[in-house]
Amino acid sequence: MIFDQLFSEQYYAYALEDWILTSEYTTKKLLHHFQVSNLKGFGIENQIFGQIAAGAILHYLESTENHNPKHLSQISRLINEDFVWMDRFTIRNLELVEPLHLEGKSLIQVLDETFTAMGSRLLRKWILMPLLDIKKIQQRLDAVSTINSNQDLSDLIKEKLKSFGDLERLVSKIPLRRINPRELIHIQNTLSRINPIKTALYHQTDPLLKGLADRLDLCSDLYAKIESQLLPEAPNAINKGGIFKDGWNSELDELRYVLKNSKDLLLDIQKQEVINTGITNLKIGYNSVFGYFLEVTNKYKNQGLIPDHWVRKQTMSTGERYVTDELKKLESKILGAEERILTIEEELFNQLVNDLQEYMLPLQQNAHVIASLDCLLSFSITAIKYNYNKPEIHDGFSIEIIEGRHPVIERQLPEGEFYIPNDLYLDQDTQQILMITGPNMSGKSAILRQTAVICLMTQIGSFVPVSKASIGLIDRLYTRVGASDNISSGESTFMVEMNETASILNNLSERSLILLDEIGRGTSTYDGISIAWSIAEYIHQHQNKRAKTLFATHYHELNELSTLYPRIKNFHVATQEINKKVIFLRKLIPGGSEHSFGIHVAKMAGMPEEIIRRAEMILIELEAQRSQSSSEANIKSNLTTFEIKSTTSQSEQEHWILDQLKHIDIQTMSPVECLMKLLEWKAKL
């Protein structure tokens, strides 16, 4: 029941017997598939559940369509310590591979300038699995820099990859025997493009590019096999003929000659029999009953010129019809030639596919190398096309971005508009948490997202949309942005928000980067501020794990945190009000903001004018009430400070606090004033 509820609505289900999901069966399945005595060489000897999952997958493949999945030539464990950890919420919120809206774009749509399908697939993997090895990251960045500076190399790779073909998919068809003659020609053409690429890469000084050159295998023997056997115009289907070249198989050549020259061969027999018998008007005919025959008129029949080895088949009023062994043999060849040709070519092609099995590993390696090169070339193309620059990657904890831009948003701006770049700095010691305030539509969320995307792009080895960037390695990326619910599971928007936030706070690391956007807005104002305040405190005070955090909020009261905690800094997205119109400057500057301009945004959205006017009147009234209550609270606060200082014993302090609680009107105090009062009293106890 639980299985059905979890999967039946979203995924296709395929039931397996219990015995298939046992360690005994699946381990033997893996050992047999990879032809090894143990799994130590793959580094999964102790990964029991992983072995069960992998073995069950093999069983499923072999039980359905892929009866011989030999193209699955390796198995390894994805090590969390090798890649940046991101949950599905982060991948979705940052729109890394899928846009949130139909009219939107994802990061991969901007970065994908690959020329091959296998390059595009690998780029998706790179984006979802950014590296944690600084050496490997730097190697990719240096390789992109080399391609950028070498136009001849870039042009050659582009030209050779344009019609390279999906070698990865083609190779997977070989063990399944689903590959056709035309696809083998594609493999041949692909191999012909490898040598120029290998030569060009080999002459580069960049170590990663030279390493790719070393890993490319020309597969000369395979190329020669296909070149010598298959016709360049070989068809897709095996049963159409025209697959193999003349001269490769003698029987095939003979049958093709018979089929092509059948009339001439029949004419030769006729001429020879005329000479042998002296029957000058001898003819060769054909019908569906007797096949080919020799026809003689009565004139020559009665003269006794018919040889003994002729066999009479039919008597007519005008003469007789005969057959000979030679004629029947030729008939058999002519009538069965086409079918026999198809049979021979199918046998020859199956043998060729058998011979290709030994080339699977080098072909798969070539596919991976070309895909990697395609991704690096794509990074180079986007860097030049969109004015990206090479970031610095280091093992420190600081993130410094100068004039950073969001790579997706800037591509979607209307013609004539330019993205406003922003600077940003984070570290563990002085500026760990940025409390970012500002009105709706000012660009707070864009700044949060672009920071995360710039860090991810750096760690996949791509140039980034900045004038300069120095990125300290991040190992986990968390986001809590946007509003969504999960009605089918009975979870409200606020519950989803709290679930995602709890997951973040329970899995922090010292290299985490956290994006929090409007935490607490799904509940009442007081609850929301209290939760947001407490979360910011928790992140700041977390022992040994000072996660770098961007905290966008509408709660201006949270600006007070910067006065209490040294590593929390206030920033806001600048606006300018001219003639009662708000201009969004999109610029992140130090200091907190006191205005949200929500009514202005409602007006921009087309809200009826009477609603806008009434909202403005209510806002003026509420702000006046808040100002008055705040002033009264300040007076009480001063009295409180004096009286607490004059007390001497703890019991007297407690008595005084209880007395104050009776007289303070909490309903007229702001949430921050309440929190400040509690902190003050606690410090005096």
For 638-684, the pLDDT digits (tens) are 444 444 344 445 566 667 777 777 767 666 666 666 766 776 666 66
What are the structure tokens assigned to 317, written together? 């009023």
439, pLDDT greater than 90: no
Which residue stretches of 68-218 are H helix? Answer: 88-93, 107-111, 117-128, 134-149, 151-161, 167-173, 181-202, 207-215
- Name which of 113, 111, 104, 148 is nearest 127 in CA terms: 111
Residue 651: the pLDDT is 61
How far is it between the farthest Cα atoms of the chain?
A: 154
Strands 291-297, 283-287: pairing kind: antiparallel
Residue 293's pLDDT band, with cuts at 50, 70 and 90, is confident
531-560 average pLDDT score: 89
Confidence check: pLDDT of 410 > 90: yes
Cα-based distances in Å from 309 to 60, 182, 313: 64, 49, 13
Domain with CATH 3.40.50.300 in the chain: 387-607
More confident residue, 19 or 430: 430
Residues 6+ apart with CB under 8 A from 156: 196, 197, 200
Contact, 363 vs 165, CB < 8 A? no
Nearest to 69 by CA among 176, 164, 167: 176
Task: With a cut of 80, say whether residue 428 has pLDDT above it.
Answer: yes
What's the token pair of residue 600?
A: 């202005």
Give me the residue label for tokens 């009826």. 608
Q: Which of 5-14, 416-425, 670-679 has the lowest mean pLDDT?
A: 5-14
d(CA 465, CA 380): 13
Sign of the CA dihedral 584, 588, 593, 598?
Answer: positive
Q: Does the pLDDT at position 21 exceed 90? A: no
Tens of pLDDT, residue by residue over 443-461, are: 888 999 999 999 999 999 9
Lowest mean pLDDT among 133-142, 188-197, 233-242, 328-337: 328-337
CA 319: distance to chain centroid? 80
Lowest mean pLDDT among 140-154, 482-496, 567-581, 670-684: 482-496
Report yes or no: 462 and 379 within 8 Å, Cβ to Cβ.
yes
| Residue 83 and residue 128 in contact, taking contact as beta carbons nearer than 8 Å | no
The answer to whether residues 676 and 641 touch, using CB atoms and an 8 Å cutoff, is no
Pairwise CA distance, residues 176 & 178, whole Å? 5
Q: 387-607 has which fold?
A: Rossmann fold (3.40.50)
Report whether 534 contacts 519 (CB < 8 A).
no
Question: Taking 70 as the threshold, does the pLDDT of residue 262 lie above it?
Answer: yes
Here the tokens at position 101 are 């809206």
| Cβ neighbours of residue 420 closer than 8 Å, sequence gap 6 or more | 443, 585, 586, 587
pLDDT of residue 647: 42
Is the distance from CB of 406 to CB of 450 less than 8 angstroms? yes
User: Distance between alpha carbon 327 and the CA centroid of its chain, in Å?
Assistant: 66
Q: What pLDDT score does 346 carry? A: 93
- Highest mean pLDDT range out of 287-301, 334-348, 652-666? 334-348
**Percentage of residues in the chain with pLDDT exceeding 90?**
43
Q: Tell me the average pLDDT across 131-139.
A: 97
Within the chain, all domains assigned CATH 1.10.1420.10 are found at 137-386
Q: Given pLDDT bands bounded at 50, 70 and 90, which one contains residue 25?
A: confident
**For residue 401, which of 469, 459, 454 has the smallest C-alpha distance?**
469
Structure-model confidence comparison of residues 28 and 117, the more confident one? 117
Asked if the model's pLDDT at residue 108 lies above 80, the reply is yes
Average pLDDT, the chain: 83
What radius of gyration, in Å, describes the C-alpha atoms of the chain? 40
Cβ-contact 462, 387 below 8 angstroms = no
pLDDT at 19: 82
- The sheet carrying 319-323 orders its strands as 283-287, 291-297, 319-323, 311-315
Residue 257 parent element (H or E): helix 250-260
Give the DSSP H/E element, type plus range, for residue 540: helix 525-541
416 has a pLDDT exceeding 90: no
The yes-or-no verdict on residue 505 having pLDDT over 80 is: yes
Burial (CB < 10 A; 0-12, 13-18, 19+), residue 190, is buried
Which tokens belong to 67?
């009866």
Pairing between strand 548-552 and 433-437?
Answer: parallel
- Check residue 542 and give its pLDDT: 87
- Paired tokens of 86: 């991101």
- 6: confidence class by pLDDT, cuts 50, 70, 90: very low
Among positive and negative, which fits the CA dihedral 430, 433, 434, 437?
Answer: negative
pLDDT of 7 higher than 50: no
The domain defined by 1-77 carries CATH number 3.30.420.110: yes
Distance, CA of 406 to CA of 95 (rounded, Å): 12
Residue 214 has pLDDT above 90, yes or no: yes
- Please report which helix (H) or strand (E) contains residue 94, including its range: none
- Count helices and strands (H / E) in the chain: 25, 15
Q: Where in the chain is the domain with CATH 3.30.420.110?
A: 1-77
CATH 1.10.1420.10 fits 137-386, yes or no: yes
More confident residue, 487 or 91: 91
**% of the chain surpassing 70 pLDDT:** 81
